[in-house]
């Protein structure tokens, strides 16, 4: 009932509004003509003692433009819809127009992607035309998180270096674009007091060569071996199978500051790479992957 009510609500409001415009034009014209015939022709407003506001009828050509506009409104609504659930005589919808434009673009672009399809992965990565296409696709779909230059930001991976959370092979990058990734760093402070957490932070920093208190780092190693090594490896080299970052290099996703690492350990982190298979076909995903890998090489 709500659906039917709003349908008729829109229809009635729309039609009544257009008809009210028509009535207003005829009513005001009638008043103007009457005043003119009676010899008054004014609204009764006077300024500066002798400046009177006239009430002359609109010029005929101007009035006809208003009538044409009203007629156009009814014709448009009849052909293209806009009256509640009525779809219009032409059956036009914005979804249908979008689908038609997408299909037309696919037909026009098919020769381009047909050539890319013939290239193996290495050749696609090295192909200048494919990289130019990939750059445009990257700008439209990926740059909002990874930056227009692919260098990322805090919490968004840099794609121009050689450090990969899940691996840098062509098929892995395509899989990441296709199905997305969900990352989670759990809170890992169970049973640790403040001092032990600070020791662990110092040890994590020491893995990447960041100057840290040697005594604190030595004590933090035991906590690392117990709580962190299962994911990040005993030497901090990470685990691409689960997307666990390397900790023994100088590349950081959220930052290498002691307080940032402390926050990561005590509060955890979560990341989301969206799924693109629903609106990027295989050809486009493959070209984007080639472009991304060209950045890192």
What are the residues facing 183 on neighbouring strands?
271
In a domain, 238, yes or no: yes
CATH number at residue 121: 1.10.760.10
pLDDT digits over 24-49, tens only? 998 888 776 666 666 556 667 788 77
10 Å CB burial of residue 61 (0-12, 13-18, 19+) is: exposed
How many structural domains compose the chain?
3
What is residue 246's DSSP assignment?
P
Kindly state whether residues 172 and 287 are assigned to the same domain. yes
**Is 199 found in the same domain as 166?**
no
Check pLDDT > 60 for residue 1. Answer: no
Provide the pLDDT confidence category of residue 86 given band limits of 50, 70 and 90. Answer: confident
**pLDDT of the residue at 14:** 94
Q: What number of other Cβ atoms are within 10 A of residue 116's Cβ?
A: 19
Whether residues 204 and 139 share a domain: the answer is no
Residue 89 lies in a domain: no
Is 103 contained in some domain? no
Residues β-bridged to residue 185:
269
> How does DSSP assign 132-146, residue by residue?
HHHHHHHHHHTHHHH
Query: Is 289 part of a structural domain of the chain?
Result: yes
Percent of the chain with pLDDT over 90: 76
Does the pLDDT value for residue 55 go beyond 80?
A: no
- 92 domain-assigned: no
Q: Are residues 175 and 194 in the same domain?
A: no
Q: Taking the CA atoms of the chain, what radius of gyration do you get in angstroms?
A: 34
Question: In 3-state terms, the chain is what percent helix, strand and coil (to 5)?
Answer: 60, 10, 35
- Whether pLDDT at 185 is above 70: yes
Check whether residue 175 and residue 282 sit in a common domain. yes
Cα–Cα distance between 149 and 130 in angstroms, integer?
Answer: 17
Can you give the pTM of this predicted structure?
Answer: 0.73
The verdict on 141 and 267 lying in the same domain is: no
Residues 26 and 67 in one domain: yes
* Model confidence pLDDT, tens digit, residues 116-141: 999 999 999 999 999 999 999 999 99
* 6 pLDDT higher than 90: no
279 and 156, same structural domain?
yes
265, 206: one domain: yes
Report yes or no on 100 lying in a domain: no
Distance CA 261, CA 242 (A): 20
For the segment 210-237, the average pLDDT, to the nearest whole number, is: 95
Kindly state whether residues 284 and 145 are assigned to the same domain.
yes
Asked whether residue 17 is assigned to any structural domain, the reply reads yes
Query: Which structural domain, as residue segments, surrounds residue 284?
Result: 110-180+274-296
Q: Does residue 278 sit in the same domain as residue 173?
A: yes
Task: Determine the average pLDDT of the residues in 263-274.
Answer: 94
Question: Taking 90 as the threshold, does the pLDDT of residue 162 lie above it?
Answer: no
Averaged pLDDT score across all residues of the chain: 91
Across 240-247, average pLDDT: 94
CA distances from 88 to 70, 98, 101, 154 (A): 17, 17, 20, 50
The answer to whether residues 211 and 255 belong to one domain is yes
């Amino acid at each position: 009932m709500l659906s039917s009510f709003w349908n008729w609500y829109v229809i009635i409001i729309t039609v009544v509004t257009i008809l009210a415009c028509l009535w207003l034009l005829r009513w005001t014209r009638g008043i103007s003509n009457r005043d003119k015939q009676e010899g008054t022709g004014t609204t009764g407003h006077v300024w500066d003692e002798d400046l009177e506001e006239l009430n002359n009828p609109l010029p005929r050509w101007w009035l006809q433009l208003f009538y044409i506009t009203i007629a156009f409104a009814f014709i448009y609504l009849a052909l293209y819809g806009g009256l509640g659930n009525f779809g219009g005589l032409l059956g036009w919808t914005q979804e249908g127009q979008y689908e038609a434009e997408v299909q037309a673009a696919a037909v026009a672009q098919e020769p381009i992607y047909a050539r890319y399809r013939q290239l193996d992965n290495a050749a696609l990565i090295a192909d200048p035309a494919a990289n130019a296409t990939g750059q445009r696709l990257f700008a439209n779909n990926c740059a909002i998180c990874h930056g227009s230059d692919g260098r990322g930001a805090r919490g968004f991976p840099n794609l121009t270096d050689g450090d990969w959370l899940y691996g840098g092979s062509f098929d892995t990058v395509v899989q990441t674009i296709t199905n997305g990734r969900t990352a989670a760093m759990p809170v890992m402070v169970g049973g640790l007091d403040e001092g032990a957490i600070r020791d662990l932070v110092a040890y994590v920093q020491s893995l990447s060569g960041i100057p840290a208190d040697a005594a604190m780092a030595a004590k933090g190693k035991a906590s690392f071996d117990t709580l962190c090594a299962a994911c990040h490896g005993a030497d901090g080299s990470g685990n691409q199978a689960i997307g666990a970052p390397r900790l023994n290099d100088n590349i950081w996703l959220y930052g290498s500051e002691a307080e940032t690492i402390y926050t990561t350990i005590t509060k955890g982190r979560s990341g989301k790479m969206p799924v693109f298979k629903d609106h990027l076909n295989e050809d486009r995903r493959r070209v984007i992957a080639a472009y991304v890998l060209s950045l890192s090489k």
